[in-house]
Amino acid sequence: EYVVEALDAGVEANLQTCWSVPAEREDFPPRSACADEDHEIGDANDNSLPGEGFVHTHRGIHDVDVPTDVYLLKCNDVEQDSTNHRFVEYFMASNYNDEDLLCSAVKGLGDCNMRSDDDFIGYVKGNGDLANPIFDLVRDSDDYNDFCDKIEGINDSIESAFVTLEPTIFDFRNPIAKVKISC
């Protein structure tokens, strides 16, 4: 009887996210986050990102936190000074400073009449030059609250995409990650 360390073929990136591991949902341990039936992408099997390019002893799985800079700014994180200029305040908080986007009229240098929410949606819908996907969310929204709901849904999907395998279960030092061979 021999014990062989777990080897990594080096053909795909070691992201260890539920969607990147070549396994079906039922292949994960029962209490694993990736085995959760409510998890939307537990068996996506997208291992198309390239790996090291050589075979080596697997380094195990490391606990990776969700990078917070991939989230869209949450609406409730924006200080709202008014109830009628919420889109403008959201985009200003997101570092947009385009007066054509934010202002219905500019009286002088730094003197902007902020667009109302309805005017903002109308401007974005009528301006095809605004190509950033965040503007597609505005175009697809009925109002600011609908826009915020879409942002929340996207952020939930991002968080879900970064659910990873539990490092303690799959650590290469753990016997579960070793193969026994009987000859």
The pLDDT tens digits of the residues spanning 79-123 come to 887 789 999 999 999 888 888 999 998 776 667 899 999 999 999
End-to-end, the C-alpha distance of the chain in Å comes to 7
Burial of 125 (0-12, 13-18, 19+ CB in 10 A): middle
pTM reported for the whole predicted model? 0.62
As a whole number of angstroms, the distance between CA 47 and CA 136 comes to 29
The pLDDT tens digits of the residues spanning 47-80 come to 666 677 778 777 666 555 556 666 788 998 888 8
As a whole number of angstroms, the distance between CA 4 and CA 131 comes to 52
As a whole number of angstroms, the distance between CA 104 and CA 118 comes to 11
The pLDDT tens digits of the residues spanning 116-172 come to 999 999 999 999 888 888 999 999 999 999 999 999 988 887 777 776 665 555 554
Strand ranges (DSSP E) for the chain?
A: 2-4, 7-8, 56-57, 103-108, 111-114, 179-181
